[in-house]
Amino acid sequence: MKILSAEQLNEADKITLENEHISSTRLMERAASLVFNEIHTRLEGADIKIKIFCGIGNNGGDGLVIGRLLHKYGYNVEVFIVDYSDKRSDDFLINYDRYKKESSSWPEVIEENTDFPEISPGEFVVDAIFGIGLNRPAKGWLAKLLKHINNSGAFTLAVDMPSGLFPNKAPQKDATIIKANYTLSFQNPKLTFFLPETMNFIGELQILDIGLDRDFLKEVKAVAQLIGKREARQLYRPRKRNSHKGDYGHTLVVGGSYGKIGSIVLSAKAVLRSGAGLCSVYTPKCGYQILQTALPEAMVITDKAEKELSEIKPGLEPDVVCFGMGAGKSQTTANAFKALLEETEKPMLIDADGLNMISENMDFLNALPKNSILTPHPKELERLIGSWEDDFEKMEKVKDFSKTNDLILVLKGSHSFVFSEGNMYINNSGNPGMATAGSGDVLSGIIAGLMSQKYEPLVAAILGVYMHGLAGDICAEEMGVETLISGDLCDYLGQAFLALEKE
């Protein structure tokens, strides 16, 4: 699914009105009616107080339509107009009059020096104050109103997006923002929904298709692509019945050091679980017995050194090298890594200590094969690209780094991001249970295993991140998020592939 900017969505509105020969008021009625339907379906006529806070722009117009329909169906609803400006949108004014005609009373107006309405924890609040139209932070009494709603303890539903958030830029550090329990957003998601600094304001997210112009949506260049099951299925290639292990590639996992052999056990197991035909592991001598015992399916080659990598001479030609997990970053190991980079021509996957060695020896970037994949978590990323002011600046810096160095970056997090050639892909699988030691090692193995099966590196990264999250979701459904450990992700990969294949 495409993630679009506010400007692109406004253009989609405009083109839809022209092509369908309808008014903006009718389009507003269509969109807001879908919000009403979702509320009505969930409340089922329940006797609950509903308070709707409407701004004086189009988001407020949506709120007035929702209030009118709720009133029509007998709900206990109060509508409040948040009067923060002398300007009103035309569609707001039209729906303001319609609300009065059908409810027999004007909405109550909230303005500066007005006492805020009391909100009890058991009530239902609809936030329709700003939507995507906000261009400056809420200040003064407006900020106090947003805090009043947040502090009420009431269930809060945001229409299109929580008030106080910007669709295309980061909020100020001290900004006051509605913290929604649920957000019903129109047509396409916004980037701010998925960024670490802002995603907690969204609550549960649902996208409502309001029927904007299909041709425009198909042709417009997305800010980013959201990767869900439908998108992942399009990337997946089922196996042919007549095949053998040589058809699915050979991955070499290189890493480990004394006390950190478990990381490459996890990566190598994930390589095999993701479908690679062969997996070899190159490790210090201290890892030999552990690997042979823990993973008999993998071949093990040992370094001449006992506790660290001193040279990397596996004596084979794998389809992909996956490097860095548990490797440490001693000068001896860094020298071995540099030599490996200079000898390798095919795209590699670099994780963990491999990333840390690159950040301490930036000239290593010049030796990295093009289209190699780096998989940093936020701290590893900061060591690579430097600090950033906010998540939007971070996204731009990662895009530039990826494009300048001809690399693919997988930025791990609640919504992992994949960057390539200036494009951004946002993963929509996974859960908090995956915030556990070794989860990233499993991800590296999955992606490397897909690369060895001749998936293009970008496809392997996008599909691998999704499958990693899907395995975690299936596992969490059965075990809960607290008990999930990284080894479970390998064990549930099979169920994840089965789920991907099912319609």
Model pLDDT for residues 356-409, shown as the tens digit of each residue: 999 999 999 999 999 999 999 999 999 999 999 999 999 999 999 999 999 999
- Provide the 3-class DSSP secondary structure of residue 461: helix
Neighbours of 473 (CB within 10 A): 18
- Residues 267, 442: contact at Cβ < 8 Å? yes
- CA–CA distance from 181 to each of 159, 399, 498 (Å)? 11, 32, 32
Non-local (6+) Cβ contacts of 23 within 8 A are 17
Residue ranges of the annotated binding site for (6S)-NADPHX are: 58-62, 131-137, 160, 326, 377, 441
The token pair at 309 is 């990598």
Residue ranges of the annotated binding site are: 58-62, 127, 131-137, 160, 163, 326, 377, 412-416, 440-441
- Residues 150, 187: contact at Cβ < 8 Å? no
> CA nearest 500: which of 228, 249, 226, 269?
228
Residue ranges of the annotated binding site for K(+) are: 59, 127, 163
Residue 133: its pLDDT value, please?
81
What is the C-alpha separation between 113 and 483, in angstroms, rounded? 51
What is the C-alpha separation between 24 and 22, in angstroms, rounded? 7
Amino acid letter at 240? Answer: K
Total-model pTM: 0.95
pLDDT digit of tens for each residue in the chain (503 aa)? 999 999 999 999 999 999 999 999 999 999 999 999 999 999 998 999 999 999 999 999 999 999 999 999 999 999 999 999 989 999 999 999 999 998 878 899 999 999 999 999 999 999 999 999 888 899 999 999 999 999 999 999 999 999 999 998 999 989 999 999 999 999 999 999 999 999 999 999 999 999 999 999 999 999 999 999 999 999 999 999 999 999 999 999 999 999 999 999 999 999 999 999 999 999 999 999 999 999 999 999 999 999 999 999 999 999 999 999 999 999 999 999 999 999 999 999 999 999 999 999 999 999 999 999 999 999 999 999 999 999 999 999 999 999 999 999 999 999 999 999 999 999 999 999 999 999 999 999 999 999 999 999 999 999 999 999 999 999 999 999 999 999 999 999 999 999 998 86
What would the DSSP string read from start to end of 82-143?
Answer: E---S---HHHHHHHHHHHHHHSSPPEEE-TTPPPPP--TTSEEEEES-GGG--S---HHHH
Residue 16: its pLDDT value, please?
98
Residue 106: its pLDDT value, please?
85
Q: At what angle do helices 24-43 and 58-72 cross, to 10 degrees?
A: 50
Q: In this structure, what are the phi and psi dihedrals at residue 21, rounded to the nearest 5 degrees?
A: 55, 50
- Residues 199, 415: contact at Cβ < 8 Å? yes
**Domains in the chain, CATH or no CATH each:** 2-222 (3.40.50.10260), 245-501 (3.40.1190.20)
